[in-house]
Amino acid sequence: MPGWHDDLSLGIAIGSGIYIDENTHIEAVRYPSHSDTMGFLTTILTNGRPGPQRIALWLKNIAASFLRHPIKTFRVLQPLGWAREFVILLCMQAVEGQIQMRWQRPWFWPFRKFLVSRGKKVPTYIPKANEFAEKFAKLTGGFALSMLPEILFDVPGTAHCIGGCVIADSSAHGVVDTRHRLFGYKNIYVCDGSGVAANLGVNPSLTITALAERAISFIPPKLKTTWNDGPES
Q: What is the pLDDT of residues 171-185, one digit of tens each?
A: 988 999 999 999 999
Residue where a domain terminates, one of 132, 153, 174: 153
Q: Which amino acids are annotated catalytic?
A: 160
Full-model pTM = 0.74
96-143 pLDDT, tens digit each? 766 777 888 888 888 888 877 777 778 889 999 999 999 999 998 888
Residue where a domain terminates, one of 134, 153, 172: 153
Instruction: Name which of 2-6, 70-74, 224-228 the model is least confident about.
Output: 2-6
Q: 51, 66 in Cβ contact below 8 A?
A: no
Q: What percent of the chain has pLDDT over 90?
A: 41
Rounded Cα distance, 64 and 220, in Å: 65
- Is 216 among the domain residues? yes
Residue 39 has what DSSP assignment? G
pLDDT for residue 226 is more than 90: no
Q: Say whether both 56 and 133 belong to one domain.
A: yes
- Is 145 among the domain residues? yes
- Is 20 among the domain residues? yes
Q: Say whether both 132 and 200 belong to one domain.
A: no
Rounded Cα distance, 214 and 196, in Å: 13
Encode 140-162: b = buried (16+ Cβ within 10 Å), e = exposed: eebbbbbbbebbeebeebeeeeb
Q: Say whether both 29 and 144 belong to one domain.
A: yes
Nearest to 148 by CA among 72, 53, 38: 38
pLDDT for residue 209 is more than 80: yes
Q: Say whether both 139 and 210 belong to one domain.
A: no
- Is 109 among the domain residues? no
Q: Say whether both 185 and 76 belong to one domain.
A: no
Q: Say whether both 32 and 138 belong to one domain.
A: yes
Q: 196, 147 in Cβ contact below 8 A?
A: no
Please state the domain count of the chain: 2
Q: Say whether both 144 and 73 belong to one domain.
A: yes
- The distance from CA 223 to its chain's CA centroid, rounded to whole angstroms, is 41
Structural domain span for residue 171 = 160-233
Q: Say whether both 85 and 198 belong to one domain.
A: no
Rounded Cα distance, 82 and 63, in Å: 22
3-state class of 130 per DSSP? Answer: helix
- Is 7 among the domain residues? no
- Is 8 among the domain residues? no
pLDDT for residue 38 is more than 70: yes
Cα dihedral 201/203/206/207 (nearest 10): 30
Confidence grade of residue 231 (pLDDT, cut at 50, 70, 90): confident
- Is 113 among the domain residues? no
